[in-house]
Amino acid sequence: MLQATHHLMVETKGKGLTEITAEVNRWLTAQKIETGLLTLYCRHTSASLLVQENADPDVQKDLLTFFERIAPEGKGLYVHDTEGPDDMPAHIRAALTQVQLSVPVEARRMALGTWQGIYVFEHRAAPHRRDIVLHLIGE
């Protein structure tokens, strides 16, 4: 059994989804592991990871709108507001999504569906640099 790890640094543009499928696949194809399991882990509490449709950008718009409704920003809504009005809603959104994904790997590529992509879901208003840890195990 072989293992490999990598830190993928992702520059976000503020709230929204940043697709990282191509970057992850580039790293995967350079590894000596043909078949296995890839774990992706977001090392932050105000961003998350998603497997989501990558064909229609309206899906991303609808996701953003939905999360704005269920975790709104606003002065006085939350006790934790040390880093600004978007901080606690970002923590709530990250808690409702995922910070870790597991994806099967076949022929050095993620076994994603036709319309699926891997995204960093930024929940803060300002751009951030997010550290995504990739861990691959297999043969």
3-state percent breakdown (helix, strand, coil) of the chain, nearest 5: 25, 40, 35
Compute the mean pLDDT over every residue in the chain, rounded to the nearest whole number.
97
Rounded CA-CA distance 63/26 in Å is: 27
Task: Write the CATH number of the domain with boundaries 2-138.
Answer: 2.60.120.460
Mean pLDDT of 57-61: 95
Whose CA is closest to 15, among 109, 85, 113, 75? 85
Rounded CA-CA distance 103/2 in Å is: 16
Give the tens place of pLDDT for each residue, 72-128: 998 889 999 889 999 999 999 999 999 999 999 999 999 999 999 999 999 999 999
What sign does the CA torsion over 98, 15, 89, 42 have? positive
